[in-house]
Structure 1
Amino acid sequence: MPNKPLSPGAEHYDFILVGAGSASCLIASRLSQQLPDHQVLVLEAGEHIRDDPNVQTPGLQGRLLLNPAYDWQYSSVPEPGLNDRRVKHPRGKLVGGTSAINSHSVVFPNYEWHDRIAEELLSDSGREEWSSQGMRDCYKRWQAESSGPGVSNNEDSLDRVKTSFPRTIDVLQSKWTEAFEELGHATRTTGFTESSVGAVTVTNAVDSSKAERSHAATAFLEPALKRGNVILRTGVKVDKIAFDDALTADGKLNAKGIRYTYEGEEYTISAQEIILCAGVFESPAILERSGVGSKTVLAAANVPILYKLPGVGENLQDHLNCGLSCETHEDIPTRDEAMRDPEEPKAALLEYQQSRTGRMSEGAAYSFAFTPLQMLETASETHELIEAVNHCVEAESNPSLQAQYSVIQKAIESPKEATATTFMLRSQRHRDGEFMPKDTPSFVDGNYVTVVAMLAHPFSRGSCHISSDPSLQPDIKFNYLSHPLDTEILARHLRLIERLFQKPTFTAMAKPGGKRLPRSFPHPISSLEDAKGILPINSATNYHPCGTCSMMREELGGVVDERLRVYGTKNVRVCDASVLPVIPRGNILTAVYAFAEKAVEMICREAESGFSSD
């Protein structure tokens, strides 16, 4: 529960951060050090869960998702492209946000993605700062890789997430890199860099010195709370931003504070600046409840409109993935036994508790690969698909989508850039359970390796808007596979997985006559139509929603400008996954942290000369 607030209007802070997720924790940490004379309030709807083994133990990540103690349990509406399945979207219900419940893998965007966003979606004043070269330090600053080079003396006092590679490379992980070398692509280094093709072993957000999860709360907010100028208040769900009745001299809304209800009473806490970090679903909802958004959406919710900004809640994107599994020889160690034998997880947990070793001490996925379209097809087939993309971009009449599709088009045309990020799981995987008979067991006998293709830059777009009933969660529509190019590209990546399975490395590991998954199509893929048929019933989310408060020019449907300030406002920013205008190729958390680092740079520059409304 939160501390009992003072009387309405009695509290005042320099900054109020709404939400204590990944970006907010980092921003609070940096402000606490760089602006020690400024007071920062962090408001979080969840709780600060400390010293919880379920959160700390890397191998217990599965206990967190869909558990109401840790997860807000968002869900989409029925998705037509996925045979009307509702897709569950876990979001962290604790300080640290989703960084405290995710699956640890650290995958970076590429230089080209940043450069194209800066060049094609932002105004002139933001292009240099948001280019790849302008962002390089931001991607370095938030993490400390345990096996990497030491940080420089002037940065060694910064709070950082601890990342690490696997302690040992097992059989499947070593075979992963060999398989891509058989396709003619050498193993590459990981990190924020130019695009390259091939397999990589990535780090996970695991502190190897403790064998514990390293997340935003432990890395950033807890050290900040000890410095004395950051206050955390939990159990507080923000209703809306309170604006002055009068506009500023240049016609903008001036936020005077945050309004929330606690124990039946309404409170307003005032601040010089509001920074929304409430996440991809809640940041746009707060703006809409505050009167900033689409005229149609606000009218339906009976909210008076203060500033018409139709991009709020639009442009929702996510990484859709689909995987195939093949049965391996029994002597190849996988993690399938843990699914079938309840004693195995108990033994693994006991080993972890006694020595901090074993599978519970590491994340689930370290083996990734960046796979471009040119790896998938013959030259003529590649040309045909590129022509289809070109026609799509030229025919698009929506200026925002045309600009975004142009960014994606260039990635597709590049022989170096991933059209899917592919990764390996050392276990069987089932995503078609809803389409199997009710008595179908959850798991099948045997050991399996699963290869998953995650569509890097989907063309499909969805939305997230407040409901007419304020007590309900927002209406979330992803519209998965609503754009035909997503089906065309992702299906081709399933064919690439089949090619991997047919190469010597995988055939040597595969059990002769062994089973194939998904159970709804237990055969090798022999055609593009086979692959397309699997997608609606076996695709799943990578839990990477973003885009609902996009950083783009306002005429393109943007919600925040290149300083992350909400259009039409003087002193309201957004910084979380919602500001990513085009989803990056891999796990989005690295970009969220880097964007938060850039936000701090901007805020501190402005603070040195006083708050600015320019």
Structure 2
Amino acid sequence: MGDNISAGAEDYDFILVGAGSASCLIASRLSQQLPDHRILVLEAGEHYRNDPKVQTPGLSPTLQSDPAYDWGYSTAPEPGLNDKRVKHPRGKLVGGTSAINSHSVVFPNYEWHDRLAGELLSESGRADWSSQGMQDCYSRWQAGSSGPRVNDDVGFLDRVQTSYPPTMDVLQLQWIKAFEELGHATSTTGFAESSAGAVTVTNAIDSSKGERSHAGTAFLEPALKRGNVTLRTGVKVDKIAFDETLTADGKLNAKGIRYTYHGEEHLISARDVILCAGVFESPFILERSGIGSRKVLAAANVPVLYELPGVGENLQDHLNCGLSCETQDDILTRDEGLWDSEMKKAASLEYERSRTGRLAEGPAYSFAFTPLQMLETPSETQQLTEIVKDSVEGETNPSLRAQYSVIQKTIESPSEATATTFLVRSQRHRDTESLPKGTPPFVNGNFVTVIAMLAHPFSRGSCHISSDPSHQPEIKFNYLSHPLDTEILARHLLLIERLFQKPTFTAMTKPQGKRLPRTFPFPVSSLEDAKKILPTNAATNYHPSSTCSMMREDLGGVVDDGLRVYGTKNVRVCDASVLPIIPRGNILTAVYAFAEKAAEMICREVKSSVRLD
């Protein structure tokens, strides 16, 4: 096998790089459906079993930026956000970011899937990736409070537990009412055709225990008990090792993975390699392995094995911006919990005693799918659709033109969200850096905050290997670099302001009450006002995606419709990096569903090759 393979020359059928959300699910499905195959999962972080900080839903903010749990990525200065460096927490533990995120379960829509399949993929992948082909994939990974269902083919499936809030408070109930008042009945919370309106979503919390349910506990723990899955932690993968000769059809054949552990280099061989290292690390590993843009690899002194310019490009994220209003004195919010140490202590005691109370819940359950048409005049809508049409027609890059055409259809549809809007039952500050030093972090009072998250941004960034490959990747999102993002997000701030003026909200808020952000504490009365607020107050929703996009190669894709890296025979990628256009809401549901599809394809392939043999 070659003498540079580490002693013990282990041989696996599959190596999964990373033990994040997608990897844990794939390991679970393969271990169950291919019991005679050996699966190795390599994770650079640790496996925290029964860690109260991870388990307690209300402690998720403390995990982010704690180097024990978070890789602590940060962007280059972002010109569109006043040159701020934006922190991007990613999970440094088994379960990946599903083990440190803030739990909300928000689904994409049918139209998004159908357009990705029809407009960005070759014909062979359209049936698999259409909304119809993906329906089961969105239901298989989760079990609602009613408990898991049985699938006859595979017996009990490992699933993430999801639950609704234990009780609905005034703000959550009024949220639904506010949209009904606009003529939009509550829409469905699951994977479905788009309809405008408010929803109460589930969170990835096991309500029977009051604990976070994440990919590590839901998928990998049961898989490890089956005996055909091995987990190795503290292992940072250097690169994929390829055979020196190409396959008969001219492709690179991966023979395994090189990694360093305690200063020693190892090579583990495998029949198939599946990169699930996340949106920043998967392209980074491909580049270190010699797959990527010639220019990027030359700058890092890496020999090119296959030129694939899309690697690390097309980076997207949900940018959001919100407004807060002070509530009437009889409407309590979560604000006291921000500064009242007695209340914090009481919440901790309640959670310790009964696994209930604030610490047993996630921060956000109240969402709405908001097309701008909901509160715009027809002339405002027409003006925007014309601006978008001109911009898309003027785009000369074929990949962007294809993607922008997909987004254009969303904007023109009166039922599809141009932003996913959500309610937070407390004040929110994103402008602290723009205020005088020593400004208190919070304002006295109870607040309701409504935040618009730009559903499908036009701005594109990149994530690449630097000239020193041992450093973290260089990350640039180029937030608000495309003028349409400013145009659309500013219009959504106006939509929030118009929502605040409707009877449901005016009944809950003080007529002359305090307003946030502190850098603009007034009602937003014009599009110009709204645009000025963005560079100081817009923030990330922590949903980076698309650096190894599943698209046709001529459109700048990195993986094909089987999630195989172009130019390779046996390297796949499956994590948030393969989503070619970011979906409308929190991306974890799509990551799990894409992982379900990956496992389905792999099992189908293995079983058909066995039949051929």
TM-score band (shorter)? over 0.9
Per-residue displacement from partner, 1:119-138 (whole Å, max 9, x unpaired)? 00000000011000000000
Find the aligned partners of 2:275 and 2:204 in 1 and give their Cα distance.
24
Q: 1:208 to 1:131 in 2, by over 3 A?
A: same
Equivalent residues of 1:8, 1:268 under 8 A apart:
no
Q: What is the CA distance between 1:147 and its match in structure 2?
A: 4.0
Does the C-alpha gap of structure 1 residues 276 and 119 become closer, same or farther in structure 2, counting only changes over 3 Å? same
Q: Residue 519 of structure 1 aligns with which residue?
A: 518
Q: Which residue pairs with 1:334 in the alignment?
A: 333
The 5 A counterparts of 1:346-361 are: 346-361=345-360
Separation in 1, partners of 2:355, 2:367: 25
Q: C-alpha separation between the residues in 2 aligned to 1:243 and 1:424?
A: 49
Q: Which amino acid aligns with 1:358?
A: G
CA 1:377/1:26 → structure 2, altered by over 3 Å: closer, same or farther? same
Are the counterparts in 2 of residues 324 and 517 from structure 1 also a CA contact under 8 Å? yes
Cα offset, 1:439, TM superposition: 1.0
Contact kept in structure 1, 2:5 and 2:267, CA below 8 Å: no
Indicate the residue corresponding to 1:177 in structure 2: 176
User: Deviations for 1:252-305, whole angstroms, at most 9, x for unmatched residues?
Assistant: 000000001122221100000000000000000000000000000000000000
CA distance in 2, matches of 1:479, 1:220: 35
TM-score using structure 1 length: 0.97
Q: Structure 1: where are the runs of 5+ without partners? A: none
- Deviation of 1:160 (Å): 0.1
Give the SS at the match of 2:156. Answer: coil
Tell me the alpha carbon deviations over residues 488-511 of structure 1, each in whole angstroms, 9 at most, x when there is no partner. 000000001001111111111112
Superposed CA offset, 1:130-159 (max 9, x none): 000000000000000114795555565100
CA contact (8 A) 2:33 2:154 kept: no
Is 1:414 the counterpart of 2:421? The answer is: no
Evaluate the alpha carbon distance shift between residue 45 and residue 149 of structure 1 in structure 2; reply closer, same or farther with a 3 A threshold: closer
Q: In the alignment, which residue of structure 1 is the partner of 2:505?
A: 506
2:150–2:157 Cα contact (<8 Å) kept: no
* Mapped pair 1:487 → 2:486: yes
Between the aligned residues of both structures, percent identity stands at 80
Matches within 5 A, 1:185-584: 185-584=184-583
Q: Distance in 1 between matches of 2:514 and 2:576?
A: 39
CA RMSD of aligned residues (A): 1.4
> 1:465 & 1:348 partners in 2: Cα distance?
43
Q: 1:56 to 1:136 in 2, by over 3 A?
A: same
Query: Do the aligned residues in 2 keep the contact of 1:422 with 1:453 (CA within 8 Å)?
Result: yes
Q: Look up the match of 1:138.
A: 137
Give 2:47's aligned amino acid: H
* 3-state SS in 1 of match to 2:609: coil
In structure 2, how many angstroms separate the alpha carbons of the residues matched to 1:7 and 1:369?
A: 53
Distance 2:577 2:389 in 1: 27
Amino acid at match of 2:316: Q
Q: Which moved more, 1:176-185 or 1:402-411?
A: 176-185
SS of residue matched to 2:279: coil
Which residues of structure 2 form unaligned runs of 5+? none
Corresponding residue for 1:587?
586
- The alignment partner of 1:330 has SS state of coil
Per-residue deviation, 1:343:
1.9
What secondary structure does 1:274 align onto?
A: strand
Residues 32 and 154 of structure 2 are in contact (CA less than 8 Å); yes or no, is this contact kept in structure 1? Answer: no
Distance 1:169 1:373 in 2: 27
TM-score (norm 2): 0.98
Aligned residues: 608
**Is residue 202–residue 367 contact of structure 1 (8 Å, CA) maintained in 2?**
yes
**1:9 touches 1:269 (CA, 8 Å); kept in 2?**
no
How much has 1:471 moved relative to structure 2? 2.2
Structure-2 separation of matches of 1:202 and 1:563: 31
Distance 1:154 1:300 in 2: 50
In structure 2, the residue corresponding to 1:550 is in which secondary structure?
coil
Query: How far apart are the structure 2 equivalents of 1:113 and 1:7?
Result: 45
Question: 1:327-349, CA deviations, whole angstroms, 9 ceiling, x for partnerless residues?
Answer: 01222121100111122111101
Looking at structure 1, the residues matched to 201 and 286 of structure 2 have their Cα atoms a distance apart, in angstroms, of 36
> Once the 2 structures are TM-superposed, how far is the Cα of residue 609 of structure 1 from its aligned partner?
3.1
> Match of 2:562, SS?
coil
Q: Distance in 2 between matches of 1:292 and 1:150?
A: 42
Contact 1:316 1:478 in 2 (8 A): yes
